[in-house]
Amino acid sequence: MVGPDRQIEDLPASADPQARTLFGKWQSLCARGVPPCRDQLDPFELRPWLGHISVYESVNGASDFRIRLEGTRISQMTGEDWTGRYASEVDTAFGAGLVPLMRTAVRTGQHSFHATGIYQRKFRTAVRMLLPVRSRPDGPVDQIFLVIYLDPGQAP
């Protein structure tokens, strides 16, 4: 059984190199501590990572987050596609605690890393990144890229 999610300071050495590359891309687009705008995150440029990205959108003043798009690789890892559902539903189903983490990301504009289990497959471990973005150039942070890569270096 995989233990509870835990926040980590940096991506572990065992993390998939693609996770580190995506984080570097996101970080390079941050200007003066402000997360990038979706316009800066061209889908063609994100192609190597798209399957590992789920897009969560803030609703009702960040009281919850709707899953606008579930990455295909994430769906394959979990065996489920949560597109159109809400982070609060994930929290209820798995005791995940995503909503408070996403509220913090929206409020601060800061990324976070987590060591986590694949909730539906208790024997799999992963690295999760929350990368805040803005849907409009002049707007506030209102979306979160939730990124998951399996991490074979973490013990279940």
More confidently predicted of 144 and 121: 144
Question: Would you place residue 123 in the very low, low, confident or very high pLDDT band (cuts 50, 70, 90)?
Answer: low
Q: What is the pTM of this model?
A: 0.92
Q: Which DSSP letter does residue 44 get?
A: T
Q: Return the structure tokens found at 131.
A: 């990368």
Task: Name the one residue in this structure whose structure tokens are 């409020």.
Answer: 107
Element (H, E) at 88: helix 87-94
Structure tokens at 106: 């929206």
Q: Reduced to 3 states, what is the DSSP secondary structure of residue 9? A: coil
Instruction: Name the token pair of 156.
Output: 């279940």
Reported as a pLDDT band with limits 50, 70 and 90, residue 113 is: very high
Could you name the CATH architecture of 6-150? Answer: 2-Layer Sandwich (3.30)
Residue 141 bridge partners (DSSP): 134
Distance between CA atoms of residues 127 and 142, nearest Å: 22
What 3-state DSSP class applies to 126?
strand
Which two three-digit tokens encode residue 29?
């687009």
pLDDT tens string 26-73: 999 999 889 999 999 988 889 999 999 999 999 999 999 999 999 999
Domain positions in the chain are: 6-150
Contact 151, 10 (CB under 8 A): no
Cβ burial 104-128 (10 Å sphere, 16+ → b, else e): ebbeebebbbbbbbbbeeeebbbbb
Lookup: tokens for 54: 């789920």
